[in-house]
């Protein structure tokens, strides 16, 4: 593969495609925390961008080294995403039902939950390692960085949209955010097994 417009366009499109689950979760996080400040938004988008870049690189490394093990692991990806997102979504849903009147920031997702969301939404990106297997290490790294930049921008958009509607939905935002996460987990699961 050469350094050309096609390489960069492919990387941007990969980033956009991979970021859709992270966008939806960012939207849910924005709904859940309508008074979120810019530094927190950057942290959340940064976590998603980090994992969206890391997973294709891990997939690329696996293809280059231990492809057989990775192929066996790939069958578990939909199950892992389902469990992680349903757990976090269920927790948000229960918190929303229990706390009828939420004050600003009361529904903030913890850092460890953000890490779990980052892994859950990016674990399917491991398979991108197969599509970039012919890249050298530098091209794979640049591709991953482009994916991260696109993911960051898309997630910031999701957070802003969610935050805007979260203030309008008040106490129902956590419930809606939890439902969205559960639905994303189910969608990843069904897409992965069908």
Task: Give the pLDDT of residue 55.
Answer: 93
Cα(118)–Cα(22) distance, integer angstroms: 7
CA dihedral (63, 65, 71, 74) in degrees, to 10, reads -70
Nearest alpha-carbon partner for 54 in 113, 115, 98, 110? 115
Check if the beta carbon of residue 42 is closer than 8 Å to that of residue 146: no
DSSP for 41-56, written as a single string: HHHHHHHHHHHHHHHH
Cα atoms in the 13 Å half-sphere on the side-chain side of 77: 23
Q: Is residue 24 within 8 Å of residue 161, measured between CB atoms? A: no
Nearest to 174 by CA among 92, 114, 87: 92
> Helix (H, G, I), strand (E, B), or coil: what is residue 4?
coil
Q: What is the pLDDT along the chain (194 residues), one digit of tens a residue?
A: 678 898 898 899 888 888 888 888 898 888 888 888 999 999 999 999 999 999 999 988 887 787 666 666 677 777 877 887 788 778 777 877 776 545 565 567 889 989 989 998 888 788 787 778 888 899 999 999 999 999 999 999 999 998 888 766 655 666 776 787 788 778 878 877 77
CA distance 172 to 167: 10
């Amino acid at each position: 593969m050469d350094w050309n417009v096609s390489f960069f366009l492919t990387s941007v499109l990969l980033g956009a495609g991979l970021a859709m689950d992270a966008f939806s979760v960012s939207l849910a996080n924005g709904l859940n925390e309508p008074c979120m400040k810019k530094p927190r938004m950057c942290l959340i988008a940064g976590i998603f961008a980090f994992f969206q870049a890391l997973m294709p690189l891990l997939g690329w490394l696996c293809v280059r080294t231990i492809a057989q093990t990775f192929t066996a692991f790939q069958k578990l990806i939909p199950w892992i995403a389902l469990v992680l997102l349903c757990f976090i979504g269920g927790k948000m849903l229960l918190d929303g039902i229990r706390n009828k009147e939420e004050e600003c920031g009361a529904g903030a997702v913890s850092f460890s939950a953000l890490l779990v969301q980052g892994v859950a939404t990016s674990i399917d990106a491991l398979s991108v390692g197969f599509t970039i297997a012919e890249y050298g290490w530098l091209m794979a790294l640049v591709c991953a960085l482009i994916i991260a930049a696109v993911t960051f921008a898309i997630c910031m958009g999701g957070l802003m949209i969610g935050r805007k509607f979260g203030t309008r939905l008040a106490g129902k935002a956590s419930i809606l955010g939890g439902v969205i996460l559960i639905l994303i987990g189910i969608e990843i699961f069904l897409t992965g097994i069908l």
